[in-house]
Structure formats: C-alpha cells, structure tokens
Amino acid sequence: MKFSSNVSRAIVAVSVVTGAAIWVSGGSASAQTVNSTTNVDVVIVDTNPQGFGGAYIGAGPSAKITNGGQANTSALFGGNIQGRVQIPNTPVSARGSVMFGPNNAAIVPMVTYDLPVARNTNVYAGVGYSFVEDKQSFGVKKNTPMGNKNAPVVVVGAEHSITRDFVVYGDVKLGIKAYENSPASAVNLTAGAGYRF
C-alpha cells in the first residue's frame, strides 16, 4: 500500500507530536524507527513500561502457617485488608496491612523497595512492625494471623495490575519472635485483589 507524500508527512507529524507529548508529560516511553517498504519513518511509542506505580487498597485471605508452641499460638486462617501508596519519584512504597482472625487482629505498617520485573508487575521487599490488638484470654493475648504479640516484620511479595483499576497481590510476612513466651517466629501468607486509584 502506497501513501501520498502529504499522508506520509501527516503520519510522521502525528507520531512526532504524540511522542513529544508523552515525553513532556513525564511518562516513560521508548521509541524506535521502523522503515517500511514505502520508505516512511514511523515512530512506535511504548507507553506501558515495566512495573506500575500509584496506590491501591484490597482484601483477601491471610493464613499463619506456623505454631508458637504455646496456648493461643496455633496456625490460623483469617483475612486481610492491605494497601499501598507509592512515594513519588522513588522505588519505595508505604504499605499497610490489617490481618484478622476470629478473635483478634494485627496492624502492620511497612516500607518496601519495589522492583519492576515485567509489564504491570512489581516484586517488593521490605520491613515493618506488627501491632497486635490487646485482646487477652486468661492473661495471654489472643492469636492473629501474625502471631500474638507485637514484633518486627520482614515482607517479600509481588503485585500485578490486571487492568488500569484492578490489582492482585500476594506476599509472605515473617514476624520475628511474634509469640509471647516463645522464641518462635510467625510465617504469614497473604493474598488479595484490590482497586487501584
């Protein structure tokens, strides 16, 4: 298919203006020139770089797969509400998670380093601290999906933006010495789906 010289110039002009608009707006883009059989230069712009930014909030299941060896420390299945806010112009995010069981909950604020690994996909690793609500049974705090006492937390996870608005996530959290009267650590598996804004 051959284009007239005016049509060819219009295609090039629109491509250049589009690329310039994306560059000026600060979006990540990569461009390459393709020479077709009609000797027309066309600029192809990739507006979907690896990873994704922004913020989201979601919910899903949460399970502690370890046992602290004491009363109120058995493995436990519950739920989570989790959110992420990216710190602008950095690969760092502030995250928060509320993990709850039938009788108690833990609130875990975290800071993570986010690494883009594929289109719309990040992996992340970071640290936080688990604050267990002060609900007790016979003088011992009731169990949560993150143990039964306040503790430092290490987290490793992944997140993927399915569409512009919806995200799925999953991570493993390690609560260091997260049981009263026990040196054991709590291992938690969390997953969910969220709304991105």
CATH number, domain containing residue 153: 2.40.160.20
- Residue ranges in the chain modelled with pLDDT below 70: 1-49, 137, 140
Cα angle: 87, vertex 78, 176; to 5 degrees: 60
Could you identify the residue written with the tokens 């712009």?
45
**One domain for residues 165 and 124:** yes
Supply the pLDDT for residue 114: 97
Q: Residue 130 and residue 91: Cα distance in Å, rounded?
A: 23
Interval 11-61: pLDDT, tens? 444 344 333 333 333 444 344 444 445 566 655 544 546 899 999 999 999
My answer on whether 124 and 190 are in the same domain is yes
Which string of b and e fits 28-37 if b means at least 16 CB within 10 Å? Answer: ebeeeeeeee
- pTM for the model stands at 0.73
Q: Are residues 115 and 158 in the same domain?
A: yes
Question: What's the token pair of residue 110?
Answer: 């975290």
pLDDT of residue 64: 95
pLDDT at 40: 63
Residue 154 CB partners (closer than 8 Å, separation 6+):
125, 126, 127, 173, 174, 176
Q: Do 167 and 92 fall within a single domain?
A: yes
Q: What stretches of 25-175 show up as alpha helix (H) in DSSP?
A: none
- At residue 134, the pLDDT reads 79
In the chain, the percentage of residues whose pLDDT exceeds 90 is: 61
Q: For residue 9, give both structure tokens.
A: 């110039």
Residues 11 and 83 placed together within one structural domain of the fold: no
Q: Which domain holds residue 158?
A: 55-196
CA pseudo-torsion sign 55, 57, 58, 59: positive
Does residue 112 share a domain with residue 71? yes
Same domain, 81 and 118: yes
How many domains is the chain partitioned into structurally?
2
CB 181 within 8 A of CB 70: yes
Q: What is the pLDDT of residue 54?
A: 92
37 and 69 housed in the same domain: no
Residues 133 and 172 in one domain: yes
Shared domain for 101 and 160, answered yes or no, is yes
Judgement on whether residues 42 and 22 belong to the same structural domain of the protein: yes
My answer on whether 30 and 96 are in the same domain is no
